[in-house]
Amino acid sequence: MGARIIESGGGGHLLSATGLLRLLQLTSPALPIGAYAYSQGLETAVDQGLISDAQQTRQWLEQMMAYALTSVDLPVLMRLHGAWSAGDRQLAERWNATLLAMRESRELREEDIHLGQALMRLLNALADTDSGGGDLIGGQNLRTPSLAAAVAAAAARWEIPASTAALAYTWMWAENLVAAAVKLIPLGQTAGQRILSALQVRMPEVVAAAAVVKDSEIGLSLPGVAMVSGWHETQYVRLFRS
């Protein structure tokens, strides 16, 4: 058996060396799912002068992380992880549909589906390299998987705890949007890393807060994000995809 590594989130869970390497692969910016092509409306926020420097970028992302991820993405991801771990495809379908229904613009919904489908295809293509063999989830792919559904499926398959998968998802989200801000404002690479470091400090508490969200409490609207994402769909000049 490979070396055992204590999960950073605590709780007595252990993560194998192989599991840690799988997690690093899952969160690598080299993962070919096309996340670099999207900005979640950040491009329009910059274009309209709502975000113009590193401090405003940090504040914008901190609010998204503290509210949207805590109340929507992460609690749903944890439920998806439980559904995949139990082999309950119907429950996974329900939570996946719930998450997609909460995307407040066509752009946000299509981004989520595009990334989820791309990651699920990649994971199934790689499935013969792990000990289970076969498709990642036994051929039970969702028709329109969200990114959270795909991340949860991978984590359940590789016995990565739900809280660790939530941390990984949060890091993927933050790294992608900081990279977008570095290009758009533009920010220097060091400034971008400072923002990531500041967000990183808060990620464990965000995941801990998401873990105690009840089913009835899932859901939140961030009107500013919804509006800039909707406006981005018709923005005349764009670097990022709508």
pLDDT at 242: 81
Residue 104 corresponds to which tokens in the numbers above? Answer: 């407040």
Residue range 137-190, pLDDT digits in tens = 544 578 899 999 999 999 998 889 999 999 999 999 999 999 999 999 999 999
Q: Is the pLDDT of residue 127 over 80?
A: no
- In the block, which residue shows the tokens 């504040």? 59
Instruction: Give me the pLDDT at residue 153, please.
Output: 94
> How much is the mean pLDDT over the chain?
90
Identity of the residue numbered 220:
L
Structure tokens at 73: 């993405």
Strand 14-16, strand 4-6: pairing: antiparallel
Ordered domains of the chain (ranges, CATH): 66-223 (1.10.4190.10)
The torsion angles phi and psi of 109, rounded to 5 degrees, stand at -65, -45
Dist. CA 147–CA 132, nearest whole Å: 22
Burial class (CB in 10 A: 0-12, 13-18, 19+), 204: middle
Enter the pTM of the model: 0.91
Higher pLDDT residue, 91 or 5?
91
Residue range 8-45, pLDDT digits in tens = 444 446 788 988 999 999 999 899 999 999 999 999 99
Signed CA dihedral, 32, 177, 120, 168: sign only: positive
At 4, is the pLDDT very low, low, confident or very high (cuts 50, 70, 90)? very low
The residue among 217 and 15 whose pLDDT is bigger is 217
Q: In the predicted model, is pLDDT for residue 136 greater than 90?
A: no
